[in-house]
Amino acid sequence: MCGIVGYVGEETGAKDIILGGLKSLEYRGYDSAGIAMICDKKIVTKKKVGVISNLEKIIGDPEFDSNIGIGHTRWATHGVPSDLNAHPHCNMDNTVAVVHNGIIENYMEIKEELLRDHDITFKSETDSEVIAHLIGVYYDECGDLHDAVTKATKRMRGTYAIVVMSSKEPDKIIGVRKDAPLVAGIGKGCNFLASDIPAFLKYSGQVYFIENNEIVVVTKDEIKIYDEDKKEIHRDVFHVTWDVDAAEKAGYEHFMLKEIHEQPIGIEETLTRRLTDSGEINLDGISMTKEDIEKFDKIYIVACGTAYHAGLVGKYAIEKMAKITVETDVASEFRYRDPLIDEKTLFIAISQSGETQDTLQALRLAKSKGARVLSVVNVIGSSVARESDDVFYTWAGPEIAVASTKAYTTQLVCMYLIALYMARTKGTIDNAYYDRMITELKNIPEKLEMIFSQEKDIEKIAEEFHRNNEIFFIGRGVDSTVSLEGSLKLKEISYINSFAIAAGELKHGTIALVENGTLFFALATQDSLTEKMGSNIEEIKARGAYVISIAKEGNELISNLSDRCIFIPKCADEVSPLLTVVPLQIFAYYVAKFRGCNIDKPKNLAKSVTVE
């Protein structure tokens, strides 16, 4: 959430560079946008509620440009979306401008002090404005921007990434990171600060990852990183291996549709990078011996949203294959129930961005109690990755749409590989089973292409039912976990009230909601549970439900009981989630399209949730 872009260079043109950077960060979610630049030795700020195009309409003046500036897309936490609450924020005499991602938890304490002791006038309802005023007060005392920022951040509690500039030191921008992402980009005759790499990837693929409690001072010629005591830190440069084209739509109408269709490639990449020619699994150099695995008496898989749903499938796979007790939990609740963690615990964190604040805080708790931490993330160098003992990267490539698709399926592949590796090492599966599962995984990309051949049929179903105001998803076994993800995708981008439930639980309350025409998606891909699912379908059909089933090819029992049936290619029950979820993603996409929704940037949602 919130996008930050800072630029300082030799020539003017900051406006277009910052604006382009903000557009590349739109996937993070936002409700307003703004830019501040130093023009003729003064800070000039332009900001507007709504989409970036609204901002573009008010910054056309050719006089409004510079060689230095900061920009921001805001996702509201304090104060309603408005022009006044949009960033950047400035101090009283307009000599300091700040953009901020995160929450300042003690902002009221600071605000009251500023009102009492300095007669500050506040213009916005945000917590962020106090940062600009606080830095301004310290600057007046010490006359040095670096010192003023250092003193201000020592007063602030909470989560933040901030970028600051001052008209009194018009050659630099300064950034600080505390539990919110911040990266520095090394350009030619220019340098950058941003929330994420795509903001400057057009100009630079050389990156410094800024760590917690570090301050970075950026001029056109150099980037210097300091700790809280102003001691310089030397950092290796990270070289980005993907280019800006990977973050473009490539002819698709929406990023989400493109990313749905990229799943075969992402799965193949995630697999082939980890399998040797002989079919052995290489966990990115992670050393996990038989003794290590046998020491674990419990595994926690902790994540949020779609990643949590991937964790539920991971629990199923690890327990079935490696025979270790696994507990899957939502990260936002994990810390608050005093979980039983010790040195015999393996903690697996799953996060697409690697910046999910709830997951990060849960990870830190587990690590503090002695657990070994293994993370499954998509973003190299992210906070979760850097703070884990072991990292297992997905190879989904950049995922831009807020609603996650290819990240989910590549996370599933990672969980299957972890489960198989642990089971093979521990000796709980034989070679025949291992070889069969590896073959099943290798065949998934080709089978996904077979599902894409049904896309037009799924689109027609979406068109027929896009006006429904409620839809239910049911399944048994691992299908019940996929039903949760199908329901989430639909509500995320179409705003339909969808509900997922284990099919066996219908009779314990939910069946009271079934009436003539109630739409159900029934996931019935588990061979051993076909008859049970058939009974559940008959239960709801008897009460007037309209049932669209997803089943394996040749399953006539489910097909005959259902009003419609979408078939997936035959596969082992264990890996069926990799196929079953895709028709649900496609359905959600087209329902949202027919409803006229903003598919890539759904309302109130952000790609990376960096506040608790």
Q: What does the pLDDT look like over 47-105, one tens digit per residue?
A: 999 889 999 999 988 888 999 999 999 877 888 989 999 999 999 999 999 999 988 99
∠ CA 306-592-353, rounded to 5°: 30
User: Are 161 and 177 in contact, with CB atoms under 8 Å apart?
Assistant: yes
pTM score, whole prediction = 0.77
Query: Residues 204, 314: one domain?
Result: no
Return phi, psi of residue 243, to 5°. -105, 175
Task: Give the CA distances from residue 206 to residues 13, 135, 186, 188, 222, in Å, rounded to whole numbers and listed in that order.
Answer: 21, 30, 5, 11, 13
**3-class DSSP assignment, residue 127:** coil
Nearest residue to 25 via CA among 145, 181, 147, 230: 181
In terms of domains, do 420 and 539 share one?
A: no
Sheet holding 96-104, edge to edge: 89-90, 96-104, 158-166, 169-178, 214-218, 223-226, 232-233
Q: State the Cα–Cα distance between residues 336 and 320, nearest whole angstrom.
A: 29
Q: How many CB atoms lie within 10 A of CB 313?
A: 27
Helical H runs in 94-128?
107-118
Please report, as a single letter, which amino acid is at residue 279: G
Last residue of a domain, one of 231, 246, 261: 246
* Residue 82: CB atoms within 10 Å: 17
> Is residue 487 located within the same domain as residue 424?
no
CATH number of the domain bearing residue 93: 3.60.20.10
pLDDT band at 181 (very low <50, low <70, confident <90, very high): confident
Tens of pLDDT, residue by residue over 521-540, are 999 999 999 999 999 999 99
Say yes or no to pLDDT of 606 above 70: no
- In this model, does residue 608 exceed pLDDT 80? no
Domain of 521?
455-594
- Among 192, 218, 246, the domain-final residue is 246
Pairing between β-strand 214-218 and β-strand 223-226 as defined by DSSP bridges: antiparallel
242 and 254 together in one domain? no
Residue 609 lies in a domain: no
- Asked if the structure places residue 575 within a domain, the reply is yes
Last residue of a domain, one of 390, 415, 450: 450
Closest to 495 (Cα-Cα) out of 468, 464, 531? 468
Q: Are residues 70 and 199 in the same domain?
A: yes
Q: In the prediction, which pLDDT does 60 show?
A: 85
Q: Is residue 603 part of a domain?
A: no
Three-state secondary-structure class, residue 226: strand
Q: What percent of the chain has pLDDT over 70?
A: 97
- CA dist., res. 377 & res. 209, Å (int): 16
Question: What residues contact 509, with CB distance under 8 A and at least 6 apart?
Answer: none
- The pLDDT score that the predictor gives to residue 245 is 60
Helix (H) or strand (E) holding 432: helix 431-452
Within-domain flag for 168: yes
- In a domain, residue 610? The reply is no
pLDDT in tens, 316-359: 999 999 999 999 999 999 989 889 999 999 999 999 888 888 99
**Do 166 and 287 sit in the same domain of this protein?**
no
Q: Which of 127-136, 504-513, 552-561 has the lowest mean pLDDT?
A: 504-513
Q: How many CB atoms lie within 10 A of CB 223?
A: 22
Query: Sorting pLDDT into bands at 50, 70 and 90, what band is 507?
Result: confident
- Cα dist. 227→177, 224, 357, 387 in Å? 11, 10, 22, 18
Residues 127 and 274 in one domain: no
240 with 262, same domain: the answer is no
- pLDDT band of 244, cuts 50, 70, 90: low
Q: What rounded mean pLDDT belongs to the chain?
A: 92
Q: Given CA atoms 249, 251, 256, 261 in this order, what sign does their dihedral have?
A: negative
Q: Output the domain CATH number for residue 460.
A: 3.40.50.10490
For residue 600, being part of any structural domain is answered with no
How far is it, in rounded angstroms, from Cα 379 to Cα 393? Answer: 8
- 287 pLDDT more than 90: no
Q: Are residues 262 and 409 in the same domain?
A: yes
Indicate whether 408 belongs to any domain: yes
On whether the CB atoms of residues 104 and 110 are closer than 8 A, the answer is yes
Residue with tokens 């800024």: 210
In the predicted structure, residue 611 carries a pLDDT above the cut 90: no
Predicted local distance difference test score (pLDDT) of residue 334: 93
Q: Are residues 418 and 468 in the same domain?
A: no
For the record, the structure tokens of 303 come out as 């994540």
**Torsion sign across C-alpha atoms 455, 458, 462, 464:** positive
Point out the residues that are catalytic. 2, 607
CA separation for the pair 612, 89 (Å, rounded): 23
Rounded to an integer, the average pLDDT of 170-185 is 93
**CB of 414 closer than 8 Å to CB of 270:** yes
pLDDT digits (tens, 9 = 90+) for 271-286: 988 998 888 998 887 8
Q: Region 238-266: what's the mean pLDDT? A: 83
**Is 32 within the bounds of a domain?**
yes
What backbone phi and psi angles, to 5 degrees, belong to 508? -95, 35
User: How many separate domains does the chain show?
Assistant: 3
Shared domain check, 501 and 480? yes
User: What residues does 409 pair with on adjacent strands?
Assistant: none
CA dist 45 and 69 (Å) reads 10
User: Is residue 461 domain-shared with residue 446, that is, in the same domain?
Assistant: no
In this prediction, residues 118-133 reach a mean pLDDT of 94
For residues 483-487, average pLDDT = 97
Q: Which two tokens stand for residue 376?
A: 């499954």
Query: What pLDDT sits at residue 197?
Result: 86
Contacting residues for 297 by C-beta, under 8 A, at least 6 apart: 324, 325, 344, 345
